[in-house]
Amino acid sequence: MQPLKDTLRLFRSPLSSRIIAGMFVSLVAIEAILLVPSVHRRRGELLNQIEDVSMGKVRWIVTTYPAATGTELAEHLQQLQKDSLLQGILGGAVYDNEGNRVEAFGEPPQLSPASARQDRSQLFTTAAGRRYDIAWTTTGIGEGMLPDLTENHWIVLRHDADGTQRALMFYILRISGLVLLIAAFITLAMMVLLSRLLITPILTLRRDLALAGETVACDDSAAEFASLRYQRRDELGEVIATFKQMYGQICAEIGDRKQAEASLRHHNQEMQNYIEQVDQVTAAATAVDAGTFDPATLDEVAQRDDELGQLARMFQLMAAHVQQRESQLKQQLMELTIEIDQAKLQKQVAQITESDYFREIQAELKHLQVDEFWRS
């Protein structure tokens, strides 16, 4: 089941599909290029078979009837149409040495002696089908073994080439089917090879890249990557090694960033505490001015070892001196007020006792009888 899933996944992969399609098309194209000369060669073989069979019969007629005239040769050649081995002969013609037609039978050939001197076998396409004309000379086909020939004739036979075309098409279809089978087999083999060597590691690396993105987003550096099990010494192995190195660098950078953020938060907290304690010192100054200062409010700030702590301690000491001085001033003011009141009272008493009225009263009191005062 798992190999089937891997194969289906291989077909769904765009990269593997392009590679496989390109490989298949390349194999088919190469085989098609090789097929063209093979088809030409096969066509030549089929036509040569027709020519070899016909030439054997023509040679037999020429050697058997060396002194036959053109008309007689035509009659003997016409008998070949009845030969079971030569069912493809449709007609023929006999020409004299000067190229004049002597006799013809059946479907007349298009190949003339003048054209035969350039190419003695030609393939024609007619409305009735494909035809193959072949020309021989009686002296040439005898190959020097007939010294008693009195006249040289041209013999041209017309053959039905439709069977050759059908055989050729069957050959093309057979070779094409074989080519497709070979290409399909090689492609499937390369699919399996590519799946193990390239596609599966790439898909695994793609999943690991997605997993790396998720772990980085979640600040989780404990992910396990399946692609790291591939120990390769090629370009893909270098990519996997680079991915591992890159992920390590990213994790290190994330660790440094977390440490920097923690340090920044700590410094921000210290700064906030510092500002709050500065506000406490400012509030203490306001309280001193209002006369409601409590030195205990600066005890926490005074425990600091920096300039702010020193300022708080000096402020507490100064506030204590100010309070002590203020108390002394109040006591002195109170004492001075009492002294002023006593002096004022003494002055008032002195003013009363030294007045003439007080003296008159004092003199009358000396002469006044107390008993008489109470009786009256």
* pLDDT at residue 52 is higher than 60: yes
At residue 93, the pLDDT reads 92
pLDDT band at 369 (very low <50, low <70, confident <90, very high): low
Task: Give me the mean pLDDT over the 44-61 stretch.
Answer: 85
- Residue 28 belongs to some domain of the structure: yes
* pLDDT at residue 48 is higher than 80: yes
* pLDDT at residue 103 is higher than 50: yes
Contacts of 324 (CB under 8 A, 6+ apart): none
* pLDDT at residue 219 is higher than 80: no
* pLDDT at residue 142 is higher than 70: no
Is pLDDT larger for residue 6 or for residue 228?
228
- Residue 97 belongs to some domain of the structure: yes
Distance CA 134, CA 47 (A): 10
- Residue 155 belongs to some domain of the structure: yes
Task: State the total domains in the chain.
Answer: 1
Taking residue 213's Cβ as centre, other Cβ atoms within 10 Å add up to: 10
Residue pLDDT, tens place only, 329-363 = 778 778 778 877 777 777 777 777 777 766 777 67
Torsion (CA) 165, 171, 177, 180 in degrees, nearest 10: -100
- Residue 29 belongs to some domain of the structure: yes
- What is the domain-level CATH number for residue 149? 3.30.450
- Residue 85 belongs to some domain of the structure: yes
- Residue 92 belongs to some domain of the structure: yes
- Residue 66 belongs to some domain of the structure: yes
The percentage of residues in the chain with a pLDDT greater than 70, rounded to a whole number, is 87
Top-ranked range on mean pLDDT: pick from 236-250, 262-276, 295-309: 262-276
* Claim: this prediction has a pTM higher than 0.85: no
Domain extent, residue 19, equals: 12-177
* pLDDT at residue 317 is higher than 60: yes
- Residue 139 belongs to some domain of the structure: yes
The percentage of residues in the chain with a pLDDT greater than 90, rounded to a whole number, is 3
At residue 18, the pLDDT reads 77
Is pLDDT larger for residue 142 or for residue 226?
226
- From the number of C-beta atoms within 10 Å of its C-beta (0-12, 13-18, 19+), residue 368 rates as exposed
Residue pLDDT, tens place only, 279-316 = 877 887 787 777 777 777 777 777 888 887 787 788 77
